[in-house]
Chains A and B, each alone.
Chain A
Amino acid sequence: MPVLTGKELRIVGFLCNWCSYGGADTAGVGRFNQPTDLRIIRVPCSGRIDPLFIAKTLINGADGVLVSGCHPRDCHYAEGNFYARRRLEVLKRFLPILGIDPGRFDYTWVSASEGQRWQKVVTVFTEQIHALGPAPRYDAVSADMLAKVAGALGQGGNRVAA
């Protein structure tokens, strides 16, 4: 069994090519200690991140998602992160209604020179996800729980015997 089984969770990081990926690289070059739970996916810009990337990742079982882009006013494409900020904030507030803890997703801004800041972001976020533990799954909801919510909306939606 791999040594890290049970110690690591699955966290997906969407990082923009120009700032945050560079920042993570700086942190690596600077040999800063970092938790290793994060799997990085490099995207051209935080504006490229469809909120559905994050929703799909979380619904399909990731324990956490971290998005990081260039600081506002600092975007390589001038305004990508401004659009991203609106979308990501809307998504963050949408997650709890789906039954996903909003703490499992966060977004932030890290520039290419901020190796130190990247180390802090990863550490804090990983600790946050570890505090929440492995993500509950839709396909593993207990029968008790299902029975509990069955009557939540009258007769289950507007369902009536026709």
Chain B
Amino acid sequence: MSRLEELKTRIKEALPGLECVIGWQKGFDPLHNTPLFMRSEADVDKLEWGPFNVHNPAVYLPTLAGKKVGIVVKGCDSRSVVELLQENLINRDNVVIFGMPCEGVIDLSKVKARLAAAGASAGAASAVTTDGKTVSVTAGGQTVAMPLAEVRADKCGRCQFPNAVLADTYVGDPIAPAAPAAAADADLAALDAMSVPERMAFWRYHMERCIRCYACRNACPMCVCRDHCIAQSREPHWLTQEDTATEKLFFQVVHAMHLAGRCTECGECQRACPMDIPVLALKKHLNRTIHDLFSYQAGVDPQAIPPLLQFKLEEDNIKERSW
């Protein structure tokens, strides 16, 4: 019995006691998987596992709070679940977590770039196969093989949590986290290398593309205000409807500041962005700051309190100014 078959069996065993189980299924074409809400055994048979499961299903949990649901997670998704538990946004008794070891997910932009380089049209993928090392995509009558390590999401290259950090049912053998090949994040390193005025120009340049679709916010499992988001409220009126780079950047600042100490770097904001704006860099930078100041990493320990929800009388790393 393959691991996926075993996972399906375990989900079917648990399904009678649950409202639904969230996972992934094949989408409109073989390259694009979509979220799956399993309510019957027939649904469970549609479940997919592999490098095309790019979404973070934890985003649906707060909307289903109060119902008993199951969720299938990759390592990074499980951190989001843990963070939601830490903040009491979901109840541990109401969530059943299924996990399997994850070998990384693809970055569709990179796959499309590969296809374009080979002269195949990315819009017409007819088949994909993967053996865990290589992804072969058939598009426009042409099969292009690409090593998974080269087309996977950037976050997978330095993943320290390939296994769910918290799981009720774990199928398969946990895999050891690989030593991070690239210690520094490329986007963060690029920003670090810039001067302050260059960074201002950088954000102005990227924010001009933003169409204010709020996909970054909607894909974020930690953005739980939903319809009450201050970006759209009139009272208080934080943002206008003006289409300026300043206004759009300020929305990103709102998003990033509200995620300070909570972001688990699942990368959904940037993946969901239709304009490919590198918004994750802001959150990564904040996470690095939080780590420097409070030696804290979000979504690892369900009992931990996020650093901005607590304080110490004498802070270890904050120096009092002497003026």
Contacts and interface: CB of A to CB of B under 8 A. Distances in A.
Interface of A: 51-52, 55-56, 59-60, 72-73, 79, 82-83, 85-87, 89-91, 93-94, 96-101, 106-109, 120-121, 124, 136-139, 141-142, 145-146, 148-150, 152-153, 156-162
B202 A149 contact: yes
A105 B87 CA distance: 30
A157 B278 contact: yes
Contact of B200 (A51, A89, A141): A141
A93 B318 CA distance: 11
Given A158-B110, A158-B276, A90 B201 contact: no
Contact of B116 (A99, A156, A160): A160
A127 to B, nearest CB: 11
B198 A149 contact: yes
Contacts of A141: 200-201, 204-205
Given A91-B257, A148-B201, A99 B196 contact: yes
Nearest to B230: A52
Nearest to B114: A160
Contacts, number: 163
Give the size range of B's interface with the partner. Answer: 35 or more
Contact of B196 (A101, A109, A120, A139): A101
A157 B293 contact: no
Interface of B: 107, 109-110, 112-113, 116, 122-123, 186-187, 190-191, 194, 196-207, 238, 244-246, 249-250, 253-254, 256-257, 260-261, 270, 273, 275-278, 281-282, 285-286, 289-290, 292-294, 307-308, 311-313, 315, 318, 320-321, 323
B interface SS class: helix
Given A89-B293, A148-B201, A52 B238 contact: yes
